[in-house]
Amino acid sequence: MAGGSRPGSDTIKSSHEDVDNEVTKQMCTVGGGPTGDLDFDERVKGKKYRCNDCGEKFESVSKHPMCASCQSENVTAL
C-alpha cells in the first residue's frame, strides 16, 4: 500500500486516553527505572576548541569537531 494516506488516523495513541493503571505499570520511563536512573553525567567529556573562522570557543564531544556557530571545520584544540 505505497503512499496510502490515512487521514484522521495519524494518532498512534493519545497521551491522554487510556492512560490507565495498566499502562502506568508497563511504563518505567517516568522518574527512571525501579532501581533509579542510570548516571552518565561523568561520561560526557568534551574537548575545548576555538573556531579559526569566527573565533567562537566551544566544547565538542565529537571526534571531528565543527563550530556550531558557523559550521566551520577549521578549528583548533585549546
Residues making contact with another protein (CB under 8 A) = 1-7, 10-15, 18-19, 23, 26-33, 35, 37-38, 40-41, 43-44, 46, 58-68, 71
Q: What length does the chain have?
A: 78
Q: Quickly tell me which residue has 497521551 as its cell.
A: 15
What gap in Å lies between CA 64 and CA 71, rounded to an integer?
Answer: 12
Which three cell numbers, joined as nine digits, stand for 68? 556550531
21 vs 33 by CB, closer to another protein: 33
| DSSP annotation string for 48-66 | EEEETTT--EEEE-SSS--
Q: Write down the least CB distance from residue 33 to another protein, Å.
A: 3
Q: Write down the least CB distance from residue 54 to another protein, Å.
A: 12
Q: Write down the least CB distance from residue 26 to another protein, Å.
A: 5
